[in-house]
Amino acid sequence: MTTSSALSRRGFLGTSLLFVAGTAVACSSDPQGTAAAKGAKVTLTQWYHQYGEEGTQAAVKRYAEEFTKAHPDIAINVVWGADVSQYETKLNAALLGDDAPDIFELGDFRAEMARKGQLEPLDDVYGVAKDGFNKADLDYLTVDGKLYGIKTIDDIMVLYYRKSMLKKAGVTPPTTFAELVDAAKKLTSGDVKGLFIGNDGIGDSPYLLAWSQGVDLIDGDKVVYADAARSLGGLRDLHSDKSILLGFTTDWYDAGAFTQGAVAMQWCGLWAQPVIEKALDDDFGVVPWPAYDSSGTPVARLGGWTQVIHAKSKHVAEAKKYLQWLWIKQTEIQIDWAVKYGFHVPPQTDVAARTPELSKGAAKDAAGIAAKYGVSFPAEWTQAMQTGFIAAAADIANGAAPEKTLEKAQSKAQSDLDKQMG
């Protein structure tokens, strides 16, 4: 899942308008616009949300045109959608009407959509290529044993650290949570704090603490995060010695606190690395969130966007052919999309390994972390569950009893899951 705070890192510009199912969505005025499309027997409509990165709209139109040149019987109507804050609302409205897109993006993949019959299974699209995808992505997109989406980019989140600051303090990159707490304390000096995980002092840490203890949020039809009371109790340790940066001018998804020297370690995304490298040269490194203890495991959260096919499309076979061509077979396009308009990791591990921009330094380390330690939210995880979990974690950070606090929140989340599972 992509949190609302992470999504707000993007800025968006409007284009021309097309009215779909009673709502306005931005799109290109001539989506295909090439002679190659004139003889097409089928036209697929493909929705994207508005990416803020320059060049993205032209890129997706170019991909569509290349496909149609190779498959003249299928044209692609690329619809450049609403900004991310409105996209899903407008998508949901469109899916209720007669003009629903054949292919569309999801920032938060939801198992409920698959179980309601809105999404087409894509196991045959993956075929033998399935084993080459990041396992965390496959787990995220699997519902009742079937795959319902294809990730187009992986946004890997990692722990950045300033090499010079750690060396000066005699600190090595932490490999356990106890080492993280100790390092944050030793790195706090004067106006510099040891660690930044978000302006609220919480950020992604509740998920990371649970996962690093070996506890998931949901297991089958049960919400189980209360089993992570031991690790989430560590939030009190992080907050007690005042080594966490709070209330900076930008939040965790922006590298400002790190590049400006306000903090020695920061949880942030790979998307920020070009800015960090420009500001700090090679005076930084990346590691996963450390294992909670010797029995736990390091983790890193995977976000990113997913493309799916509407199960009620009249052209499912053609839509599958396009997605297989685009996101399974076209290595150069996948690399282009991942690193030319932002900085991401291609979901296929062998494609990531062949991406020049990910072949050295911290970028290579981050790609390796994504493959080895990447974790995604369960497909059943909802905004309501997230809100309750984060609120419980904040209470724990302020001294509330971890077990009772998490059990209370978990009970409400379980009711949500029960309704979802029918």
Q: What is the pLDDT of residues 113-125, one digit of tens each?
A: 999 999 999 999 9
Number of domains in the chain: 2
Examine the domain organization and report whether 179 and 259 are in the same domain.
yes
> Does the structure show a pLDDT above 90 at 55?
yes
- Provide the β-strand partners of residue 161: 265, 285
Examine the domain organization and report whether 113 and 97 are in the same domain.
yes
154-180: per-residue pLDDT in tens? 999 999 999 999 999 999 999 999 999
Structure tokens at 81: 């959608």
For 89-93, 276-280, 309-313, which range has the lowest pLDDT when averaged over its residues? Answer: 89-93
Query: In whole numbers, what is the pLDDT of the chain averaged over residues?
Result: 91
Examine the domain organization and report whether 54 and 135 are in the same domain.
yes
Q: Mean of the pLDDT values across residues 392-403?
A: 97
Residue 13 pLDDT: 25
> Does the structure show a pLDDT above 60 at 21?
no
Secondary structure (3-state) at 353? helix
Instruction: Give the Cβ contact number of residue 340 at 10 Å.
Output: 13
Interatomic CA distance for residues 104 and 72, integer angstroms:
22
What spatial distance separates the first Cα and last Cα of the chain, rounded to whole Å? 22
Please state, in angstroms and as integers, the Cα–Cα distance from residue 355 to each residue in 90, 269, 300, 346, 358, following that order: 34, 18, 20, 8, 5
Residue 83 pLDDT: 85
274-308: per-residue pLDDT in tens? 999 999 999 999 999 999 999 999 999 999 999 99
Interatomic CA distance for residues 286 and 271, integer angstroms:
13
Examine the domain organization and report whether 96 and 212 are in the same domain.
no
142-152: per-residue pLDDT in tens? 999 999 999 99
- The pTM is what? 0.90
Q: Mean of the pLDDT values across residues 36-65?
A: 91
Q: Mean of the pLDDT values across residues 23-31?
A: 38
> Does the structure show a pLDDT above 60 at 188?
yes
**Sorting pLDDT into bands at 50, 70 and 90, what band is 128?**
very high
Q: Mean of the pLDDT values across residues 41-59?
A: 95
**Sorting pLDDT into bands at 50, 70 and 90, what band is 85?**
confident
Examine the domain organization and report whether 85 and 183 are in the same domain.
no
Residue 162 pLDDT: 98
For 10-14, 156-160, 266-270, 326-330, which range has the lowest pLDDT when averaged over its residues? Answer: 10-14
Examine the domain organization and report whether 27 and 128 are in the same domain.
yes
> Does the structure show a pLDDT above 70 at 30?
no
Examine the domain organization and report whether 402 and 365 are in the same domain.
no
Examine the domain organization and report whether 185 and 318 are in the same domain.
no
Q: Mean of the pLDDT values across residues 320-343?
A: 97
Residue 37 pLDDT: 58
> Does the structure show a pLDDT above 70 at 27?
no
Q: CA nearest 205: which of 239, 173, 171, 172?
A: 239
**Sorting pLDDT into bands at 50, 70 and 90, what band is 7?**
very low
Examine the domain organization and report whether 92 and 21 are in the same domain.
yes
Residue 32 pLDDT: 45
- Provide the β-strand partners of residue 373: none
Structure tokens at 307: 């493309």
Structure tokens at 247: 């209330």
Percent helix, strand, coil in the chain (nearest 5)?
45, 20, 35
Examine the domain organization and report whether 40 and 171 are in the same domain.
no
For 22-26, 227-231, 297-301, 302-306, which range has the lowest pLDDT when averaged over its residues? Answer: 22-26
Examine the domain organization and report whether 191 and 72 are in the same domain.
no
> Does the structure show a pLDDT above 80 at 25?
no
> Does the structure show a pLDDT above 90 at 10?
no
Residue 178 pLDDT: 97
* Residue found under tokens 């319902």: 148
Q: Domain holding 348: CATH number?
A: 3.40.190.10
Examine the domain organization and report whether 221 and 368 are in the same domain.
no
- Provide the β-strand partners of residue 25: 18
Provide the residue range defining the domain that includes 309. Answer: 4-154+304-375
